[in-house]
Amino acid sequence: MTGEARAEIGVFGGSGFYSLLSDAREVKVDTPYGPPSDSATLATVAGRKVAFLPRHGRFHTIPPHKINYRANVWAMRSLGVRAVITPCAAGSLQKEFEPGSFAVCDQFVDRTNGRADTFYDGPIVTHVSAADIYDPELRRLAIETIRDHGIVCHELGTVVVIQGPRFSSKAESKWFHDAGWEVINMTQYPEAYLCHELGMGVVNISLITDYDSGVHAGAEAVTAHDVLEVFKSNSEKIKKVVLDLIRRLPADLSGFGSSKSLQFTRGDGHAASPLDIRLYEVLD
């Protein structure tokens, strides 16, 4: 891919970012997994080359259970991306995670089904740990940036990822709440995990929009209208936070991501050769 069609930082987010950028240009990316949700938009932010890709499509026409997550993540990596920022709307499962606040999650729980959620389909069996997929340094920088913008930030949190497009029942919300998990979303899995599989550093910023299914006494059950209203009120905040976070990233991004840990994931590691080509290295 030519130098004009390269990026080092990726953002999965909507087209609202583009209005703040002067040199935005579209690029279409083919992947072995089919088309991504939309064209990627490349732009320069504080001298950094950034790729933006709307996970639901630019007109929000792709529901969460129909997103081609593998194509989206592969497109980012093929553009040269090393660090990925994944802002998303999320519901609250705990009283202290109030609507309007942000959470920088450090763990996820997968409650989805049937999603294509790995690049490692064989013939070489590969087992990738998901113990810590969110990059600690990216998380630290995100927390610092959010707080500098005067936004309430929760610096730890587990995001429960449900299949969608429906919201949770009250019984499900109570189950998740009683387990002690903090926020709920429909897209973080397998998006963030797939970034991890390709060796990219990834950070999540959850924008808390509601109390999920009225799980707390006195709270109304969530509706799509409610989510959009709060999300719109936070849209300018998250744009500024993401763009500022990009400015704060170090010039050398090689320390982000999971390439080193991926070296020890092959099921035939006993027979590995220095000449073997690893999947996460193909796009370098």
15 assigned binding-site residue: yes
User: Which residues, in sequence order, are CB contacts of 78 under 8 Å at separation 6+?
Assistant: 1, 29, 31, 283
56 assigned binding-site residue: yes
200 assigned binding-site residue: no
Residue whose entry in the numeric block shows the structure tokens 């935005």: 24
Of 38, 135, 210, 244, which one is the catalytic site residue? 210
212 assigned binding-site residue: yes
8 Å CB contact between 79 and 40: yes
210 assigned binding-site residue: yes
55 assigned binding-site residue: yes
212 is catalytic: yes
38 is catalytic: no
Of 106, 132, 148, 212, which one is the catalytic site residue? 212
Q: Which residues are annotated as a binding site for substrate?
A: 186, 210-212
Q: Which residues are annotated as a binding site for phosphate?
A: 15, 55-56, 187
Q: Which residues are annotated as a binding site?
A: 15, 55-56, 186-187, 210-212
Could you list the active site residues? 210, 212
